A = this chain, B = another copy of it.
């Protein structure tokens, strides 16, 4: 673990850019004073923000570029236009050069993943990257992966997700042996997809001291906190997390409208304000901001593009935790225990085209 956690920020990423990124990082810095920042982007914009945040300015180095990846760029376009030059690329490359321990960007997910894969390459033993999300549950938080890096995947892929997700959960939630469940459905005689049943077999055999496989979890089990880590391929993972976000938003809006409808309800709201604040905090999407790219030689955190400074701060926090508790070493240890945790197929590493 380095003395200080060195975080590279794509200061041009997201819907707003520097004026969210820098205040956000400043909030995170106040929680983790042992942080240093590399800020990639338009120096004029960055300096203007740093002037308002002297503590942040004191621990930051600015590297100027005026090339920014747009939210609408396709991954291939972003690579073509922004490789070696864009704030996003440079933030990632700082990891490769050993100048930063983690990169955080609110830029577009596809471009960020393509650049991260291209620049950092996959970990030995991992064939495909994943994005891990944080899911607020009735028992605390769970990690869910993959929420959309790749679609589909065989049993080996699901096993790799389980290993990486457990490492992340142990780091984030300070757990010695996180529980791991495979997302599945339970209405068919032959339950769920073939590859999921195979993955269950593999995970039962794996028996690592750093994770505890508990079997299948259905869609309604995620929010109950049935497992610390929920493993699924990227299509259903993405659908799941978006359905949950959508449902939470829908209920909040309905409740807000219902509480404003009559004077009695409005009075009730005033009395129960603290309860509603607790609910709002609980449902605050900012708090689960920070998708972690796993499977690469380096940690990259993706913040929501539309987040505010508070939300961006959570994504920076996630990056901090990953480095501070040494996620990559943990993953590598789990992958290489007896050299047999995963049996990588001999296939060549995929390059983003």
Task: Determine whether A19 belongs to the interface, using a CB cutoff of 8 Å to chain B.
Answer: no
User: Which positions 173-219 of chain A face chain B at CB distance < 8 Å?
Assistant: 183, 185, 187-189, 192-193, 218-219
Interfacial chain B residues near A246, Cβ < 8 Å: 219-224, 244
- Bound complex: CA A276 to CA B183 (Å): 32
A324 within 8 A of B: no
Total A residues in contact with B, Cβ cutoff 8 Å? 68
Given contacts A255-B275, A271-B264, contact A247 B236 (CB under 8 A): no
Q: Are A239 and B185 in contact (CB under 8 A)?
A: yes
CA distance A188 to B273 in the complex (A): 41
**The residue from B218, B234, B255, B269 contacting A242, defined by CB atoms under 8 A apart:** B218
Give the interface segment out of A20-28, A60-68, A153-161, A278-286: A278-286
Q: Does A70 contact B (CB under 8 A)?
A: no
Asked if B187 and A254 sit within 8 Å, CB to CB, the answer is no
Count identical subunits in the complex: 2
Supposing A236-B235, A271-B264 touch, asked if A250 and B137 sit within 8 A by C-beta, the answer is yes
Chain B CB within 8 A of A290 CB: no
A74 within 8 A of B: yes
Q: Is A270 on the interface with B (CB-CB < 8 A)?
A: yes
Do the beta carbons of A220 and B242 come within 8 Å of each other? Answer: yes
- In the complex, how many angstroms separate the beta carbon of A287 from the nearest chain B beta carbon? 14
A87 to chain B minimum Cβ distance, whole angstroms, is 20
- Name the 7 nearest CB pairs between A and B, nearest first: A268-B272, A219-B242, A268-B271, A220-B246, A258-B275, A148-B187, A185-B238
Where the two chains meet, the residues of A that have a C-beta atom closer than 8 Å to any C-beta of B are 74-76, 109-110, 114, 137-138, 148-152, 183, 185, 187-189, 192-193, 218-224, 232, 234-236, 238-251, 253-255, 258-259, 261-262, 264-265, 267-276, 278-279, 282-283
